[in-house]
Amino acid sequence: MSFVITTPLYYVNDKPHLGSIYTTLICDSIARYKRLTGEEVIFITGVDEHGLKIQRTASNKNVDPQTHCDEISNIFIQNWKDWDISHNKFVRTSSKNHEFIVNEFYKRVRNSDDIYMGLQKGWYCVGCEEFKDNPDNSPTHKCPIHQKILEWKNEENLFFRLSKYQSQIENLISDPTFIQPKERRNEIINFVSKGLKDFSISRTNVSWGIPVPDIKNHTFYVWFDALLGYVSAISQDMNNPSLEDSINNGWPADIHLIGKDILRFHAVYWPAMLLSAGMKLPKKVFGHGFLTREGQKMGKSLGNVLDPNLLLSKYGKEAVRWYLLKDISLGNDGDFQNKRFVDIINNDLANTIGNLLNRTSSMSRKWFDNKVPDIEGVSNDTKLALCTKKTVENYIIHFNNYELDLAANDVLNLAINTNLYLNEKQPWLLIKDKNKISSVGNIIYNVLESTRIIGLLLLPLLPDLSTKIDIQLGKSYEKEKSWSKQLNWGLLKNKSILPAPSPIIEKLEYE
């Protein structure tokens, strides 16, 4: 059994924005966590490359769509490399085997008698080449962009019988674990209760797309193309990829992590399509919130878009990860505030965790010959050992619930408690009395041990920082051994050598 997690397949109309980074970082962290707990993980990400918008963007640039897609896709790939994303699959919907999977899937759905030719009717803007949502709001029936009068148009499209799956979908979403967070779930329940209508799955005016077999001039519409990327990803590097291969090698997804804007497509359309194709349903769809900046929506028109690459080069990925994962609770909207960002990184990472490591290591080095103290035996029932144990338990519960912010806070609290323990015990006073050296040794060992576990717990959240901590504790982490087992108290080896400490993260300054 593998654990399958997906980001959305990002639309290649433009390079990645902070929102894409956010979603992807969360998935990355969850994927890392699951791997550490011993699960075989398939972490899927990729790009959605078809559609009219891409076609148009490319033609504006005077290149063919494939060239444009290659260019943007490469930027995504490079970005994920820069952010050290640990994905296993990167799907491109313009790839051949994706097309193959879409065709196979289509056949299944057609065999279920869920496809028919119908008429897409609506107000159409020639300028946009699109049907418009609510022209009734405007008495003149004008396109808000082009200010042209809309035409009533009938277009022949293939339709999918979504209506047939009304009760099955109702049943599915009544399970409180399927859609999260619950506020979003209510919206979907409300939407579904009004009755599902069939939706169109092909377009006649879009050449940049996957052709519908046997039907001239029709290409598949986005949802009958992009969503299948999650499936085609699984078998993408097999010799003869097929739908069956994907089904047998991982499908269904354990969690689709997406922005709240595309929840309906993932929680309603997609499951219905899968039911029609006789495939298993994803276990969970999680619609996270959006990011704002200093309390304002980010947008091109406001000119306040935060460039993720700028953040990365200025602050480093660990700082950005910590802010996004720890300070924003998944499901809520999050606000990016520069002052808060700086405060949090300095307080949490530099002062609380970084300085803990530093002060602990230097005491041990100073009083115990640059080594971990040689103590008589490890005691599991000290206050700190118990606190650590409790922290590990909570952390695991939180991570399993995808409450990454709480898990991060668990780690932080352990660091705070460890600092507190030091201040209570005051080994720097005890050491003045030579008879108390063994008692000091025990204290220092406990603190080092707690710090070791803090480092381990940070591994899925902040992989680089975690590694730095491990190095400064003399490299006690053993990759080939179970991570979970190494979270047990008392595994730090006596007398192992401690290198000279240095800051694990640089302090940030206000802009």
Q: Give contact residues for RNA (rule: CB under 7 A).
A: 11, 48, 51, 53, 120, 130-134, 162, 183, 186-187, 190-191, 194-200, 221-222, 226, 260-262, 264, 295, 297, 327, 329, 332-333, 335, 337, 340, 343-344, 346-347, 350-352, 354-355, 357-360, 362-363, 366, 416, 419-420, 422-423, 428-429, 503-505, 507
Q: How many CB atoms lie within 10 A of CB 28?
A: 26
CA distance 493 to 476: 8
Rounded distance between C-alpha atoms, residue 456 and residue 37, angstroms: 12
Residue count of the chain, please give it: 511
Largest CA distance in the chain: 93
The least CB distance from residue 164 to RNA, in Å, is 12
Rg (Cα) of the chain, in Å, rounded?
27
Element (H, E) at 398: helix 383-400
Asked whether 267 and 188 are in contact (CB, 8 A), the reply is yes
Q: Reduced to 3 states, what is the DSSP secondary structure of residue 344?
A: helix
Tokens of 27: 């998935």
In degrees to the nearest 10, what's the CA dihedral of 22, 26, 31, 37? 160
In whole angstroms, give the CA distance from residue 233 to residue 187.
Answer: 30
CB of 33 to RNA, least distance (A): 23
Q: What six digits make up the tokens of 164?
A: 């047939």
Instruction: Give 41 or 258: the residue with its C-beta nearer to RNA.
Output: 258
| CB distance 232 to 222 below 8 Å | no
- Min dist. Cβ of residue 185 to RNA (A): 9
Question: What is the C-alpha to C-alpha distance for residues 358 and 471, in angstroms, rounded to an integer?
Answer: 12
d(CA 33, CA 31) in angstroms, rounded, equals 5
- Interacting residues of 112 by C-beta distance below 8 A, sequence separation 6+: 276, 277, 278
- 242 or 359: whose CB is closer to RNA? 359
- The residue among 3 and 220 lying less far from RNA, judged by its C-beta, is 220
Q: How far is the CB of 490 from RNA (least distance, A)?
A: 22
Smallest separation (angstroms) from RNA to the CB of 195: 5
Which residues are bridge partners to 219 per DSSP? 203, 211
CB of 222 to RNA, least distance (A): 4
For the bound state, the minimum distance from the C-beta of residue 38 to RNA, rounded and expressed in Å, comes to 31
- Residue 266 is given by DSSP the state I
Q: What is the DSSP string of 104-142?
A: HHHHHHHHTT-EEEEEEEEEEETTTTEE-S-GGGSTT-B
Q: Which of 220, 203, 215 is nearest to 94 (CA)?
A: 220
Shortest separation between residue 336's beta carbon and RNA, angstroms: 11
Q: How far apart are CA 52 and CA 10, in angstroms?
A: 15
The alpha carbon of residue 195 and the mean position of all alpha carbons in its chain are separated, in whole angstroms, by 32
Q: How many CB atoms lie within 10 A of CB 145?
A: 11
Shortest Å distance, C-beta 79 to RNA: 17
Whole-angstrom distance, CA of residue 306 vs CA of residue 75: 17
Min. distance of Cβ 8 from RNA in angstroms? 7
Question: How far apart are CB 196 and RNA at their closest, in Å?
Answer: 4
Minimum CB distance to RNA smaller for 229 or for 460 = 229
Task: Give whichever of 295 and 377 is closer to RNA, judged by the CB atom.
Answer: 295
